[in-house]
Each structure stands twice: as C-alpha cells, then as structure tokens.
Structure 1
Amino acid sequence: MNMLNISRYNSFCPEQKILEQVLLFPGDDMAVSVKNGKISFTGRSAMRFIAQQNLQAIADRSLRRDRLRFTPATLPRIFAHTDSAAIASLEYLDKIKEQIGPTAWRLLGDNVKASAACTKLGYFNYAGMNRAEDVQENFKSAMLQYGKPFNSFTSFSAANDSGIVLSNYSIEYIYQKYLADSCVFRHKKFNIHEFYLYTLTNFKGEIREQLMTHLFITKRNSPEFNVADIIGALAYVKDNNLHSVLDKIRATNTVGAIAPTFTLLDKNNRPINLIDFRGKLIMLDFWFTGCGACKDMAPRMLYLEKKYAEKPIVFITICVDRKREQWLATLNTNEYTSPLSVNLYTEGKGQTHSVMRDFDVRGFPTFILIDKEGRFCPKPVLEVEEMSRLIDRYL
C-alpha cells in the first residue's frame, strides 16, 4: 500500500480544498478527473477514494464550526466538537466497511482517531507553549474540565510492537503528545537533545527512524541544533531515503564544512558565482514573494546591510518565485530585499533548483552564513542582535 500525493490538482481548482493524499493498494484501478472545480474518482477502486473525500468534508465542517478565539474557556467546546466530528467519521466508515474492505477501514479509522488527537494537542500546545505558568495552569485546568485524554479513542496506537507506523498521523501525534506532557504540563521549554533521547529510548524500528528524521527536519535551523545528535541518529536510521535526508542536514549544519557553490543570474541576466565572493563573509537569504516572515525580516536585514556596508561581507538574496516578471516587480518595491543586496533568482525552477537541495532549504526565510574561506558558519538566529554578533565573530 502507498500514499499518492495529488496536491498537483490544486492548480485546477484553487478555490476548493481537496485531498492531498489518497490511500493506494496494489492493483487499484481508478480514474481521476476534475470538472467545474471538483475532483472525482471512478472505477473499480473508486469507493475508497470517495470515502476519503467524504471524511475530509466532515473534518472541514468541524473546522468551520470551531473558528472561535482559543482560550481556556473555549477549550472544552473545541475538543468536544473535534471528538464529535471524529465519531461521525468513524460511524460513516462503519457503514461502508464492506465496500472499502477491512484493511482500508482500519487504516482510515486509525487516521481519523489520530487526526482528532493531533488537532486537540495542536490547539493545546499552540496556546500553552512558552507561556507564563499561570496561563499554562489555566489551560491545564480546562483540560481537567474537559475530562478526557487527548486521545479519546484508546483503540488507536501509533505503532505496533515491531515499530511499524500505523497511521499517517503517528509521528505528529507522538511529537505533539511529548510537547504537552513534557513541556506544557511541566512548564519546560522544548529541548532537541532531550526529545532525541526520548525517541532513542522509547521507540524502535520504522517509527523511531521517522521520529528522528521529523525532529531534525523541523529543528534544523534551531540554535540548539547539535550535529552530534544527528550523527548518532544516522547510526539508527536504515531507510535509505531518510538516511539521505539526515546526512544532507548534517552536512549543511556542520560548522567548518565546505559550502556548495552555485551560479545564478541577477536581474541583468549576469551570471553570479558564489566563488566570486571568496575572501568575504557571505549571508544567503532565501525567500519568495508573498512570504510574510520574509517581508518582516527585510527591514532588519537592511539595517545589517547598512551597518556592515564598509566591511568585507556581502548579502545575497535568492528568490524562488516561478515567474521572473514577478521577482523583478517585487525587487522594485524593496519590500523583501534592498538595492544593497546581490539579488539572484532560481531561473523559474523555484524550489526544484539544485541550490535548494544543496543548501537543504525547506522553509522561508532561510539564512545561511558562509565564512571567508567558503565554509559553513553556525546557523543564524532570526534576530538582529544575534545575527550581528555572529557576523562580528566571523569578520
């Protein structure tokens, strides 16, 4: 069995949220079509895919109903709505069990249960993480008022005894459950190394490999990132694809490792090579038009560009916009970049350009500092004072 990503159909019907993944079995026979902004499935295996559309519709209705201000007082109500939607989904699956088969019924049911738990955990952690103790206590009291655990469906398990993952949401469920139990409830901040040790000692097999990979992907730009942990994780991760991902993160986070080089075009179509700036400190800034966090960082980067205007440092922005015209129009606004930067473009290839893979860019904005000899520096923190201290250290 496998999961097919069909998010490419979003370009046909952007006004409608559709399935991002569908459950596939060997031998499936199905046709997919999009008409009038709606996606439909036909063929011998269609019922399983129609079921997944209907499950998503139930979840969407619950989300629309729960668009209210999240406070301790509303937490029991939001959680009750979440459970209600999950129960409705499970009842629907029971009605069509014979049509979709027992394996799909079990897998989709596990997804429903895990998704409900993740939704509640996500609400709780978003509101409670890194907040004052009195605020956290209010949310903990609300949890007692709710009177149920985050996982209201005790039949759900994230993995079997061999460590095989049982749900698409298993990794997220374990991660969010850890945040609630070990951070919010204990008034502690999340610590990468402690979670790494937690996964190492409490899990095995496939789920441990995925948990470790999830951890280092999501926290790869954190100032707490420790390369020693990822080196340790590589010894346990046997899956070739996951091992490759972790090894790339290790390479781009190893201080002193040689940074990859590249050649990109500037707004005048002149080729600019990273080697051209050898002997200078280089700050890379990856961004795209419409990125709110990128736009927020622009004034701070301009401040640094002016502060170090007479120093041997160059600020290079790399835009992943698909259309060159859009990139040029955005450059002219100076809302994301400045004329003091060397502004480059991924030539319409967006995030598929090799520079994105070579530098392991998975989010925006991403900043990377390279020293005068072309070696990686520690990852910059997205604060002006911290960036300035890091720059001063390597000038």
Structure 2
Amino acid sequence: MKKITILIPVLLLVKTLIAAQSIQAQSKTKDDEIKVDIHFSNGFAYDELETYVWDTWNLEGYQRSFKSKVTGNRYHIKLKANKPVYLGFEADTNSLFHSLKAYSARHGFIAEPGDELHMEIGKHLDMGILNIRFIGKGAGKYRCMQELIRQVNGKSKTRKWAFWLDTEQLFARADSDRVTVAQVMGKYKNQLSSLAFKVIELAYLQGIYSSAIDKLGDSSDRKLLNKYADKISALKAKFTKIEAGYDKSNLTFLYRLAVLEQMINQPDAPGLGYYRTHFKDAYLLLKRSYADSPALNEILLATNIFDTVAASGISNDAKACMADLLSFANKSGVLYKQILAIQQQYQTNFESGSDAYDFALPDTSGKTVRLADFRGKLIIMDFFFYGCGGCITTAPVLDSLEKLYGDKEIVFIAISVDGTKKLWQKGIGIYSSKNAVQLYTNGLAANHPLIKYYRVGSYPTIVIIDKEGKLISAHAPDPRSAVGWKEFTSVLERSL
C-alpha cells in the first residue's frame, strides 16, 4: 500500500494549487489536549498515516510515533499535551507539502494545548500548504504561514541565488523581507498566541538572514563587520529571549551570531569556518556568549554536544565538554538527563573493545542475518537511507574500499533505515555500496534498537567491528576526503 507524508511546516516553500472546502469543528477541545482532523474531500486511496510527536526541547528528535487508520476519508488524532509540541504526519518520503518547484517541508509545526485544527485537503497529492484550508482553534498560525509563504518565499522564484550576491546585497534583501514579515505578522497577531507569534517570527528572521550571516561570518572584512555590528547585536538580543517552543534551527542561528559578535569585538577572532572543525572552542564560545541566560545557555551547549556526538562520535573534547555541562546544568531538567544518558551509554557501549550490538536483520531474500554470522571477519557497517545526500557520495568510496580489500577478511554491510522495503530496495547500490550485504531495519527506522544502541543521528554513519565481535569505532572517520581515507584505512590495516 502506497503512503504519503504530511508535515506541518515551520518554514518552507510550497506550490500553490486549488483551495479545499471547509469542515465544521466537531467537539470542544480540553486545555490539555490537541486535536487534529484531516479531511480528504475528494477521496483518499491510502489506509493509514503515522503521527510523530516531539518536544521542542528534546535533543533526540521525535519522542513517540503511532499509526492511525484513514476512515471515511478522514484522519483524526487526539493527544494529551500540557505544553507545546511539534507534530508531523508521515509515511515514506512523499509529502502533501512537497513540490518539485519548491522546497519540501523540513519541520513539524508547533501545536499548542487546546488546539483543534481541521485541515481540508483536495484530491491532488503534489499540493503544498497553500492548497489546504485550515479552520478551528489554532488555525490562525497556519493561515499566517500561508500568507508569509506567498509574500516572502514566493519571491525566490525570480531572485538570484544567494551564492551570487555579496554581503551587502544579502543584508539589503533580508531587511526588505523583514518589513514584509512584520506587516504579515501584524495582520495575524490577534489570531496567534504569544508563543506561536514568536516561533513564526524567529523562524522567518532566521531564514531570511541566514545567507547574509553566513557570508559575513566567513569574511574578515573589518569594514563590513563594523557596518553590521548593531544589526548582529539586535538579532542576538531578540533570539536570546528564550521560552519554550524554540526550533533547533534557531539555536544554530544563535551560535552563528555568537561567532560574529566575537569577530566584531576581537579583530583577531576566527570566523565560522574555524568553529566548524574545532568543537571544544565552539563550546567555550557559546558558554561565554550566553552566560547571562542560563536556560538558553544550557540548551545551546547540550544541542552542540548532542549534534557533534551524533555526527562524529565521542572524542576526548566531547567527553570534557559533556562533563563540564553536567557539572552546572539543572539536574532535574530533561536536558541534564539526556546528556547524562549519552555519557553513560558511550562509556558502556562505545568504548573500543566493548561488545558490538548483536543484531538480527533480514536481507534482500528475507533470510535473517546475525552479527555472529561474520565471526572471524572485520566488519564495516554502513547506515543509509534512500534520498540521503551524504550516502550517495559515500557509496562509491565504499565500493573502492571493497575492491581494495577484496582479498582480505573484511565484510561490508549496508543497513537501511528506510520506512518501507520499496525505498530500501530502490536505494541499494545508489545510496549504499553495490556488493555489501544489504540488511533492513523492518521499517522501524530510528526506533530500531540497533539505531538507538549506536545513537545514529546523521547519515551515513560507519561502524567498524573486529573479528571477535568487539567494537573498534562507532563513528569511523569519513573516508570521502584524503585525510579521512588515510585515517579510515589506517584503522583497517591495524585491525586485520
């Protein structure tokens, strides 16, 4: 059965099609509930959708998911919630908010306790948020988003790419868009809660200024840094007013603003490029920059640690920063518990020489393949999914490694985290190495115990296991670069 993806977006570009008909609210929502009713007015050929729910402050993505049937052309959910959450509705990678002529949805959208949202959707699958009619309590934020997309994102079709513009042109464009955002937000202000207003406003400010901030952050032009000093300070002050509902991209934006502020105040300070490869220095910069905002400082530092560890594994610098954060973080808070769990899991599972996860996964023939089947061989285990940009560039490198070590006691295993077998099979040999043992996580994706065990947070991730089933590296060096290739092959040579 083919399925589709539905996401309620924070910031996206979408294609305009026909508006759908409205439906009436059915029952009053309690203050500790969120209700969503999706009506496919022209029929719907699919039997179920999956709902994802995640806390805006949760480091590890969505917290829970569940599937519900589409009956009578309707999909209905009711959630208990005493604070705002992000919601997503998905299956596979197709999306009602995706268009080949626009960007696809990247985030769920904030939903608040007491919301009773009704979405009326027409018969086309490639439609986007502009073709959906939103009514009910809480619908104002989505109507606001629709107008922002038309007024701001719609300009991108006739604009030059940011790459071709200089810093001053990018700031001028962003300032113009900011005026438009203010006008639209003013129009819908009475229909939004204060939280929803801030989430949408910050999402758009982050979006329209990102290119200008990045270009300035990679520059050493003192004249430009001084010219935009007041603007950087004003943006930082606005984003620093922390409250529940921050999107992770806002936190990334705050990190970039901190780098720029230091560049403005210290002529010899390094730019964004330096901090992309110097994790500990980035951590210390954030700690200094937001010391006056303890709650914000904690979430920034925790996010920085989590993202780095998920992408690159736990280095000595990461261990030191983790220990530092745990020394002053709020011990009763969710973030403290999550970072502590990461620290404990890495100490237990990820130290070189610890037992590798004893997986049992189906291959393309349906046969169950286990870790023990490869005893006596060095294992290169690659995690991938269909559509992964990094995976498609890593696959040829893994093919080269297979050829180089073809006569050695090495086995290459590719493990898919796709939601369906169809996507898994479609990605084999394109997003994974051609001759690897191809295994599947049975549609569980990030919920599979194997993925949780290794805390796979970015793709591709490569794990190396020795001939005795002991872990060598839970985050092997990236072999795509010359340096990474040398480090990767050195690990293999030492382990054969």
Q: TM-score, normalised by structure 1?
A: 0.80
Distance 1:90 1:343, change over 3 A: same
Tell me if structure 2 keeps the 8 A contact 1:158–1:166: no
Deviations 1:118-167 (A, max 9, x none): 45324544xx2xxxxxxx335x555556675336557614235xxx5674
Q: Distance in 1 between matches of 2:383 and 2:456?
A: 8
Q: Which residue of 1 aligns with 2:495?
A: 394
1:171 aligned to which of 251, 256, 269: 251
Please identify which structure carries the higher helix content: 1
Superposition RMSD on alpha carbons, in Å? 3.5
1:82 and 2:174 equivalent?
A: yes
1:218 and 2:307 equivalent?
A: yes
Distance 1:151 1:365, change over 3 A: same
Structure 1 residue 247 displacement after superposition: 2.7
Distance 1:143 1:320, change over 3 A: same
Structure 1 residue 2 displacement after superposition: 1.0
Q: Distance in 1 between matches of 2:387 and 2:105?
A: 22
Question: What secondary structure sits across from 1:311 in the alignment?
Answer: coil
1:121 and 2:210 equivalent?
A: no
Distance 1:103 1:291, change over 3 A: closer
1:368 aligned to which of 431, 443, 463: 463
Which residues of 2 match residues 54-65 of structure 1 at below 5 A? 54-65=147-158
The one-letter amino acid of 1:370's match is I
Distance 1:231 1:308, change over 3 A: farther
**Any gaps of 5 or more consecutive residues in structure 1?**
129-135
- Report the more deviating stretch, 347-356 or 257-266: 347-356
Q: Which residue of 2 aligns with 1:43?
A: 136
1:30 aligned to which of 117, 124, 129: 117
Q: Which residue of 2 aligns with 1:11?
A: 95
Question: What secondary structure sits across from 1:369 in the alignment?
Answer: strand
Tell me if structure 2 keeps the 8 A contact 1:62–1:85: no
Q: Which residue of 2 aligns with 1:280?
A: 377
Structure 1 residue 33 displacement after superposition: 2.8
- Report the more deviating stretch, 313-322 or 174-183: 174-183
Q: Percent identity?
A: 22
Number of residues paired by the alignment? Answer: 379
Please identify which structure carries the higher strand content: 2
Question: What secondary structure sits across from 1:11 in the alignment?
Answer: coil
The one-letter amino acid of 2:172's match is A
Structure 1 residue 367 displacement after superposition: 0.7
Question: What secondary structure sits across from 2:395 in the alignment?
Answer: helix
The one-letter amino acid of 1:244's match is Q
Deviations 1:150-186 (A, max 9, x none): 36557614235xxx56743541222122344558973
Distance 1:240 1:143, change over 3 A: closer
Tell me if structure 2 keeps the 8 A contact 1:283–1:315: yes
Distance 1:42 1:182, change over 3 A: same
1:382 and 2:462 equivalent?
A: no
Deviations 1:91-111 (A, max 9, x none): 222233334355544554444
Tell me if structure 1 keeps the 8 A contact 2:399–2:434: yes
Q: TM-score, normalised by structure 2?
A: 0.66
Q: Distance in 2 between matches of 1:380 and 1:101?
A: 46
Q: Which residue of 2 aligns with 1:206?
A: 295
